[in-house]
Structure 1
Amino acid sequence: MSVPAALPLVTGRHRNRALASARQARAVQLATEGRTYQEIADELGYANRGTVHHIVHDALTRDRKEAVEDHQQLELARLDALQAALWSKAMAGDVEAAREVRAVIMARCRLLGLDQGAKRTTVWAPRTVVLSAEDREALGL
């Protein structure tokens, strides 16, 4: 493991974002190594341990949010691939494929939080719809 270069101590407010970013990264690294907030504040020159706590907490929250968003995008791509693979069968009348497509759509709605906004006043029950060949033609299926 390489030894990080020494960071200049904080002296009042500054606008050097690159330096602030490096200092935040070092604070998170020291916190994950088990150092106390006071030790980190002393080493990096922060005024007090509360400042370090806020810096570390904000950085970890931001990193967690980004990780969750990345994972959400991965899962959405997987659901898209599943739906694309089943779509033609479902539209051709394969009932099992249609159920699977519906399950994929519902999973996507849950993942995006779209299922939480509308509360149903009636209980939803699945219904079977039988289409004749003429109905299918009229609908373009």
Structure 2
Amino acid sequence: MTSTRAARAREKENEVIALRLEGFDFDTIARKVGYRDRSGAWKAYQNALVRQGNDDETFEDAIRLELARLDALQASIFDAAQRGDLAAHDRVLKIMKHRDRLKGYAVAPRSRRGDSDQDDNDNVVVGPHKLDELRAKVRSERAGQ
């Protein structure tokens, strides 16, 4: 029964990704997919991005789209941040943190209970194992050059 529930959750996450790529907002996505409100759709979207497969082009497209949106947001407030607007500084840093998370660069600190894949304070979902994978990838790319 749990595997059926998990399979349905993944189907819904895939629907959310597809609708987001079509440009729908999270309120509309929630109605179309069957979530109570936009937060359910947003959480499904985040979960789908986190579990992305490198061989799955749909997720790669979604991440590229989100990165482009983050770039546009950052560009819109970057001048204010450079002029010393502290609120703009904070926003730029949050955007950068979100971009790093999507790219897989953000790493959750180790929790008291051991390795954690999620930091409740910052919603960082990439654990230390991902950092090790990235380091290995960089080493192999450098060796190939």
The TM-score with structure 1 as length reference comes to 0.38
Larger Rg: 1
Of Structure 1 and Structure 2, which has the larger fraction of its residues in helix? 2
